[in-house]
Chain A
Amino acid sequence: MKKYLTFTLKAFQRTLTYRFELWMELFINVLFMLVYVYLWKALYTGRTSVEGYDLNGILTYIVVSQTLLTFTFTLRISRIIEEKVRTGEVVTDLMKPIDFQLMTLATAAGTSSHTALFNMLPKFLLFYGAFGLSLPPSPLTVFLFFISVVLGYIILFSIEFIIGIFAFWLVEIRGLYAFVIWGLAMLFSGYFLPLEFYPDFLAKIAVVLPFRAIIYFPTAIYTGQLIGESLVTALLIQLTWVAVLVGIGRLAYRAAFRKLVIQGG
């Protein structure tokens, strides 16, 4: 376990060296969120409640979901794996006496905890203060929210990991990445608007895909949209996806490893 934490710490520190990037990123992110917050404010003029969200509720939803979306923007695990495959660096990784998937997760977690601390948290606090957002209904929800965030993160990671492993066969995975992450994940994760607002047929597709578990679930737990039984169901669905996607990731990388050993890459 300790050696994995080393990866996490290393990645965390590496990110710290790019300070200009840090500030700019925060600035742009804030701009991004302002767009949506003001869009919703404009949309809600003269209305009190739509689909069970009042203005405060929807703003809270947007800010939380946009904050969580930062993970999607910054993860880039698949691109890193692709690069490693292309340069052959992956061979040394695979030969190390450690689990490749866990190591990648540990590294990603380092980068992402940095993002969480220096980008997501200040961003959230800023908007929380400026727009008088609400907190989750109870301390227990706060706790469950964080659990859900972590599960969502692992799901996002696993999807990116699988895409990355495809690089062993495809060499070039930008297409796959764009399709899954910028296409499917963006559409079905509910970052742009709550799934309750989706037209029926889109909502139906969203239910069978893992993407809503990345952003919609944690956000809806935060806003109190998911409570009691539906909250538990949501967490269980997340757990299931974690198991499934981590499993697929393992199978994929075993297969990739075998391919590497047999065909020399």
Chain B
Amino acid sequence: MVRRYIKLYFLLAGAYVRSRLQYRLSFGLMCFGIVISEICLLGLLGALLAKFRTVNGWTWAEVVFLYGLGNLAYSFMRILGSQLDDFDRYIIRGELDGVLIKPVPPLFYILANRVELIHVSRALTSVAIFVVAFHLSGIRWTLDVALFTLTTILSGTLIMFTLMLISATVALWTTKSGKLTDLLISATKEATAFPISIYPLAVRLLLTFVLPVAFVTYYPAQQLLQKGEFLGMPELFQFGAPVVALVMLCVSYLFWCSGLRRYHSTGS
């Protein structure tokens, strides 16, 4: 059963990659564009940090570390969940009907149908940035640290993915979500690139409990960088990412199911 789905996933993803490769030039340009914009953004951030040295007591390297961590989760999520950023297409063009007459779970089918290898270029850039930042922040590699980092990245990817899924699901009610999902996810990613201590309480609460992206970067970074800035939150939060990811996964999946039920009854 599981084997079947894994195989199917790769077959469908492969089909998508093959169709994309029909437009080689566009594919290449897009990869190039993403890498360029990643490097440029980092360049700007660098220019900024070079001028100001620290952000709320966080050093240059530490901020880049945060940025890299968030970006890593973001780019992995983009590879896997790209289909969700213009999910409203499925409703507007009636493609969801085509999905619903297939003997596979709709969400699985939709995700597998578009695995965006373009974002591998972003992921590679992010990995490079992260490795350098990791090194510069003076963290020493041990097995514990490696495991913790991997868990963090995995949980971060899931958290971002669930936000994306929730936002995409909204289209099942509103028909059109357009750039909302894209916007939301970029906004939250941007928000996690900096220590959340710079924000007022309301925003910090928002990023912790409502759009819990603080668990993608800030709280785990407390553990990795040994900063000890919990801003009045429990210290346990530094290990909270996997739990939050699981909870969000359940919440977003339930939300998706109820969206689908609504589609089943309204057909639009």
Contact = CB atoms under 8 A, between A and B. Distances in A.
B179 A74 contact: yes
A25 interface: yes
Nearest to B25: A170
Given A43-B52, A175-B27, A202-B47, A35 B187 contact: yes
Contacts of A41: 198
B26 A187 contact: no
Interface in B105-125: 118
Interface residues of A, number: 44
Interface string A24-40: 11001101101100110
Contacts of B91: none
A192 interface: yes
Contacts of B94: none
A45 B197 CA distance: 13
B138 interface: no
B259 to A, nearest CB: 13
Interface string A181-204: 011101100001100011100100
Contacts of A10: none
A38 B198 CA distance: 6
A173 B33 contact: no
A183 B180 contact: no
The prevalent SS among residues of B at the interface is: helix
Contacts of B55: 39, 42-43
A197 B33 contact: no
A73 B26 contact: no
Contacts of B32: 175, 179
Contacts of A51: 51
Contacts of A25: 179-180, 183
B190 interface: yes
Contact of B187 (A28, A170, A197, A199): A28
Interface string B13-28: 0000000000101111
A102 interface: no
B180 A186 contact: no
Interface in B185-203: 186-188, 190-191, 194, 198-200, 203
Interface in B213-259: none
B198 A42 contact: yes
A183 B37 contact: yes
A34 B203 contact: yes
B44 interface: yes
Interface string A71-92: 0011010000000000000000
B128 interface: no
B62 to A, nearest CB: 13
Nearest to A42: B198
A183 B36 contact: yes
B174 A39 contact: no
A183 B187 contact: no
Contact of B40 (A31, A170, A183): A183
Nearest to B211: A31
A24 B26 CA distance: 31
A111 B178 CA distance: 13
A93 interface: no
A129 B118 CA distance: 42
Contacts of B51: 50-51, 197
B41 interface: yes
Given A43-B55, A186-B37, A186-B41, A38 B23 contact: no
Nearest to A179: B33
A171 interface: yes
Contact of A176 (B29, B186, B200): B29
B44 A192 contact: yes
A99 interface: no
Residue from B26, B28, B187 with most neighbouring chain A CB atoms (10 Å): B26
B183 A29 contact: yes
A198 B47 contact: yes
Residue from B43, B177, B198 with most neighbouring chain A CB atoms (10 Å): B198
Given A76-B179, A184-B36, 8 more contacts: A34-B199, A42-B198, A43-B55, A73-B183, A170-B23, A176-B29, A193-B44, A197-B48
Interface of A: 18, 20-21, 24-25, 28-29, 31-32, 34-35, 38-39, 41-43, 45, 47, 50-51, 73-74, 76, 170-176, 178-180, 182-184, 186-187, 192-193, 197-199, 202
